[in-house]
A = this chain, B = another copy of it.
């Protein structure tokens, strides 16, 4: 745990242990400020009495087109979802393009069109942008950064710190679809698959949830590192024990199949349209009903509970009746997954 790397590894961008170390040892100490230190999906602050959230993500996914989406729609969904996880209604996005000299104009148009469609369906506009072109070889095709601003009207405090013992843990649908779709879309895998990415805007679902209950404690979309990583992170930050039941976690058969062939665990495969949330057990059924009534939450389930535990860990109760701890992933996951 005290190893200091002198070079950036792929794992520093994987959403696991090394990502967290890079943030904790490099970014936080140098850029020190209370907003950044919250370590949420976005920064939350007030301006003129209005609560806003502000979030950013760069998208480097490979390949740029995959079943269920492309880098353009992903860049909109990812940032819309980070705003939604803060309880925000997305207002505006920015789009920063870094293009490689020689990039096909037709492909760029296809990607920008896809962003426009995704933005429209999420009810947000791309209000400002920037384009840089770098010489051949200085970037692999096209990278996109989107940042976004949302307005928070929810009265509660959505934060890891709001999680309490007795809270229920819910997920909004089957996990691992995005990771499986990307893996199967990579040419070198040589097999096709019927799995489409779950890439989708979650802001509508979140509005439904927050309208149904004012007792939501924390929401997080299970992107890089998957459901396993975000739960391990939340357990670590909150100091609570999160117990999840393997049989309750929805995983598509096709995703399970791809994982078996390639040696992945669906718990650590990326999602781009799935979220976990924490709320008091008493509210869980109400919240679950609300989620299931929304197209993005039809397959929502209650997967676990929170208990007091100073060690802050995730325990998986397996289908065969055992239990094992889920740690933040340390090894290489899937590079360029988003």
Contact = CB atoms under 8 A, between A and B. Distances in A.
Interface of A: 4-14, 19, 22-23, 26-27, 30-33, 35-36, 42-43, 45, 47-50, 52, 54-60, 62, 91-92, 94-106, 108-109, 112-113, 115-116, 119, 125-135, 137-140, 143, 145, 147, 149, 151, 335-336, 338
Given A8-B100, A55-B94, A102-B8, A43 B128 contact: yes
Nearest to A128: B43
A130 to B, nearest CB: 5
B56 A105 contact: no
Interface of A is mostly: mixed
Contact of A35 (B31, B52, B92): B92
B109 A10 contact: no
A56 B7 contact: no
Given A7-B103, A138-B140, A48 B45 contact: no
B12 A47 contact: no
Given A6-B104, A102-B7, A138-B336, A126 B26 contact: no
Given A13-B132, A27-B129, A129-B56, A8 B101 contact: yes
A6 B106 contact: yes
5 contacts: A31-B112, A33-B126, A42-B128, A47-B47, A54-B127
Given A6-B104, A26-B112, A31-B119, A97 B131 contact: no
A57 B58 CA distance: 12
B6 A105 contact: yes
A37 to B, nearest CB: 10
A13 B103 CA distance: 12
A126 B36 contact: yes
B54 A103 contact: no
B47 A105 contact: no
Interface centre among A14, A109, A151 (most CB of B within 10 A): A109
Given A13-B132, A58-B132, A140-B134, A43 B92 contact: yes
Contact of A60 (B42, B55, B59, B138): B138
Contact of A94 (B56, B104, B106): B56
Copies per complex? 2
Interface centre among A103, A108, A147 (most CB of B within 10 A): A147
Nearest to A134: B60
Contacts of A31: 95, 112, 115-116, 119, 125-126, 129
Contacts of A4: 105
A101 B31 CA distance: 22
A9 B60 contact: no
Interface centre among A7, A22, A115, A132 (most CB of B within 10 A): A132
Nearest to A336: B134
Nearest to A86: B128
Contacts of A105: 4-8, 26
Of all A-B residue pairs in the complex, the 6 with the closest CB atoms, nearest first, are: A13-B133, A48-B50, A56-B94, A147-B147, A43-B127, A145-B145
